[in-house]
């Protein structure tokens, strides 16, 4: 859910502490409570450090690709939606929740992002459009493995040996990039998120 929120355009409506599972016990109006419901328990940060780092990397991803945080809706010329195969339209009413999109992330069409969603209970083989640059799509972030946030080639995960196929685990989301710029593949590091420290 955090990935969906931070990958959506506009201002992410987060509450301080969401990045470390500070839930306020479900109370969304705790400002008037001077008790543990509204207090920050900083031990949550240590307990949920993997989530904290994952959120930090999502914020870095938003900063690296400003197209994700623009203040206007996507148009048909900037986003293409598809189902399991990039050549098929999505089945919007399907219960499985299998959906993908390709976002033109650069006005010169040199960078594209693909966001893949799998709400089903099984792994899905997505067929991606061919790379514009003759490279394999590269994995940037995935909710199926929040401990491994370094970019890596998507063809390591295909299982079929085809560079345009990506296997997405059940109940997960992944973001891949097609770019000729090496900087788009650099691992996330603290230089990208200095102001978050």
Judge: domain 68-185, CATH 2.60.40.1120.
no
Cα first-last separation, the chain: 23
Q: What is the pLDDT of residue 161?
A: 42
Distances (CA, A) of 29 to 5, 22, 35, 183: 20, 14, 13, 42
Classify residue 78 by burial, with Cβ atoms within 10 Å: 0-12, 13-18, 19+. Answer: middle
Q: What is the pLDDT of residue 189?
A: 57
Whose CA is closest to 137, among 154, 117, 156, 115? 154
Q: Residue 77's CB: how many other CB atoms inside 10 A?
A: 7
Q: What is the pLDDT of residue 93?
A: 87
- pTM of the predicted model over 0.75: yes
- Binned average pLDDT, 10 residues per bin, the chain of 197 residues: 87 85 82 87 90 90 89 89 92 90 81 93 93 83 66 40 78 88 59 35
Q: What is the pLDDT of residue 125?
A: 95
Sequence-distant (6+) residues with CB within 8 A of 101 are 79, 80, 81, 82, 114, 115
Q: Where are the domains of the chain?
A: 68-185
Whose CA is closest to 191, among 67, 60, 62? 60
- Specify the DSSP element, H or E, that contains 149: none
Summarize pLDDT for 144-197 with one digit per residue, the tens. Answer: 875 554 444 444 443 334 458 899 999 999 999 887 765 665 656 544 433 322
DSSP sequence for 20-83: GT--GGG-S-GGG--STTTS--THHHHHTHHHHHHHHHHHHHHHH-GGGG-SS---TTTEEEES
Whose CA is closest to 138, among 166, 162, 101? 166
- 3-class secondary structure, 112: strand
- Rounded to the nearest 5 percent, the helix, strand and coil shares of the chain are 30, 20, 50
- 3-class secondary structure, 157: helix
- Specify the DSSP element, H or E, that contains 11: none
């Amino acid at each position: 859910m955090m990935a969906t929120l931070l990958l959506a355009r506009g201002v992410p409506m987060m509450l301080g502490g969401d990045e470390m599972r500070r839930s306020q016990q479900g109370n969304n109006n705790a400002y008037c409570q001077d008790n543990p419901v509204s207090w920050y328990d900083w031990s949550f940060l240590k307990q949920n450090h993997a989530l904290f780092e994952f959120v930090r990397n999502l914020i870095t991803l938003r900063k690296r690709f400003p197209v994700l945080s623009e203040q206007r809706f996507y148009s048909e010329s900037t986003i293409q939606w598809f189902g399991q195969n990039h050549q098929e339209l999505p089945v919007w009413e399907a219960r499985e929740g299998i959906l993908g999109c390709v976002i033109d992330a650069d006005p010169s069409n040199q960078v594209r992002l693909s966001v893949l969603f799998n709400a089903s209970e099984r792994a899905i083989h997505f067929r991606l459009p061919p790379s514009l640059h003759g490279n394999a799509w590269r994995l940037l972030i995935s909710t199926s493995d929040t401990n491994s946030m370094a970019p890596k080639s998507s063809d390591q995960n295909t299982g079929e040996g085809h560079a345009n196929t990506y296997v997405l685990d059940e109940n997960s989301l992944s973001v891949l990039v097609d770019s000729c710029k090496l900087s788009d593949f650099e691992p996330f590091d603290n230089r990208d998120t200095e102001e978050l420290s």
